[in-house]
Amino acid sequence: MDRGSWNGDSMTADARPAAPALTERQEARRRRILHASAQLASRGGFEAVQMREVAEAAGVALGTLYRYFPSKIHLLVATMQDQLQHLHTTLRKRPPAGEDAAQRVAETLMRAFRALQREPHLADAMVRALTFADRSVSPEVDTVSRLTTAIILDAMGLEHPTPEQLSAVRVIEHTWHSALITWLSGRASIAQVKIDIETVCRLIDLTAEPDRG
Amino acid sequence: MDRGSWNGDSMTADARPAAPALTERQEARRRRILHASAQLASRGGFEAVQMREVAEAAGVALGTLYRYFPSKIHLLVATMQDQLQHLHTTLRKRPPAGEDAAQRVAETLMRAFRALQREPHLADAMVRALTFADRSVSPEVDTVSRLTTAIILDAMGLEHPTPEQLSAVRVIEHTWHSALITWLSGRASIAQVKIDIETVCRLIDLTAEPDRG
DNA sequence: GCCAAGTCTGAAACTTGTTCTAGATTAGCG
DNA sequence: CGCTAATCTAGAACAAGTTTCAGACTTGGC
């Protein structure tokens, strides 16, 4: 699905089609809100992010919070965008060093996974919001998905992936999200997530460019 | 506290420690509740399943509903167990006919997918509940997972899967759940889900028993 | 049949996400 | 500066999930 064509070169993921050019104070408010959200999420996960508390911690009125983020899910998905942006930047500085594409992707995802393990509550809030989001949050979720895709393609070292390869990437993303869910809900161990990631990354080998052998 | 009702004919994951043997009237109440839940879900999806309405439609008091199912998520996950049971039974009667394991698994999942397409709202309620469930619902979610695994292994025609094959099955399940989510939230088409299922099923080929070639 | 323990009902109360309103503040502009 | 539209604030109000409780009803044991 190639619905978006907004400028993607800078990694700013400027998700709004017509971002109404916030004033400085508004930009600051937005940052304070996202910061408060991440802070509360880090403490107690999804349920600890309570809109009244976010508003208070960010120093804005409840109505204002809802003007910036029309629901708790929107807020948490935006928080995830924010975090992914950081990760992407970090990864670009120190790219994975594996032999083949599958290894590099697995390494990249395991790095992301370790980052999440350091803030499991935050991970809980973000991932639960992401998978619980309904249609009204689709544009934002899609942005997260595109970011994730970009990270994986970076790891694969591909500029112009084939449709087959894009399918493999989508399946990897599916596995990534769902494996995180099972880990967060205590139904799978860290080791198991690792295995699942490595398993799904073998799909990449199946779609290696034929002209490379 | 109750849930032991589904002694399936088959190897139903009968993991409950002590199902307190419901009386007939209790069993009937439980059925009415699950029926009301599925009914409301079929109409309007996750949000249409409102606990007060379920209670009224089932003819029980709100407190009773909560005694049977300690949360809306528990209720919907139990609803999914119920539906999966049906599916499993149906599939056993008419097993998939593909050439190799990968084809049979893909066919099975596509059959399930078509069933869900007939009740997209119900699918929405069940799948969203399943992925949103937190630790307190782990046992029930695990039961759903085991049922799904059983269905996939049936399609593969395996009695004693290797650890590698189990990994592949887990990844298939991940993809299945996550692809459903993207479809339900309108971010992927039916065709795309099909492709993702077929893509991930190719993993099975990688784990074919070595002594078979 | 009768009692104790457990269960069910009806209704109110509580929690947290979301919406609404009236008035204060701010931003942009002539 | 003074005006107007947009934004922000405080707080009430509303919606739906969840909890609680007093009293009525069932159940199982005697």
Q: What is the dihedral of CA A111, B173, B133, A52, to 10 degrees?
A: 50
Cα dist. A9→A20, A144, A147, B5, B94 in Å? 20, 15, 12, 56, 51
Confidence of residue A19 (pLDDT cuts 50, 70, 90): low
What is the C-alpha separation between B199 and A172, in angstroms, rounded? 10
**Mean of all residue pLDDT scores within chain A:** 89
The Å distance, CA of A24 to C1' of C26, is 12
Say if residue B110's pLDDT is above 60: yes
Residues with Cβ within 8 Å of residue B48, at least 6 apart in sequence: B40, B41, B121, B125
A76 touches strand C (CB under 7 A): no
Question: Which architecture, in CATH terms, is A71-212?
Answer: Orthogonal Bundle (1.10)
The Å distance, CA of B52 to C1' of D22, is 21
Burial of A104 (0-12, 13-18, 19+ CB in 10 A): buried
Q: What is the pLDDT of residue B165?
A: 94
Q: Which residue has the higher pLDDT, A20 or B85?
A: B85
A76: Cα separation from own chain's centroid: 11
Residue A103 in contact with residue A157, Cβ under 8 Å? no
Alpha carbon of A206: minimum distance to chain B alpha carbons (Å)? 9
Best A3, A124, A199 member to test B by mutation, with max B CBs in 10 Å, is: A199
Q: Which residue has the higher pLDDT, A21 or B183?
A: B183
Q: Indicate the domain borders of chain B.
A: 73-212
Residue B32 in contact with residue B58, Cβ under 8 Å? yes
- Which chain A residue has the Cα nearest residue B146? A187
A70 touches strand D (CB under 7 A): no
- Residues above pLDDT 70, as percent of chain B: 88
The average pLDDT across A23-39 equals 94
Alpha carbon of B146: minimum distance to chain A alpha carbons (Å)? 12
Residue B167 phi/psi, 5-degree rounding, is -60, -45
Q: Find the CB nearest A203 among B46, B170, B199.
A: B199
A40: Cα separation from own chain's centroid: 18
Cβ contact (<8 Å) for B131 and A178?
Answer: yes
Q: What is the pLDDT of residue B145?
A: 97
Say if residue B155's pLDDT is above 90: yes
- pLDDT digits 0-9 by tens, B1-35: 333 333 333 344 444 455 667 788 899 999 999 99
Say if residue A176's pLDDT is above 90: yes
Domain covering B73-212, topology: Tetracycline Repressor; domain 2 (1.10.357)
What is the C-alpha separation between A56 and A106, in angstroms, rounded? 40
The average pLDDT across A187-195 equals 97
Q: What is the pLDDT of residue A196?
A: 98
Cβ contact (<8 Å) for B132 and A132?
Answer: yes
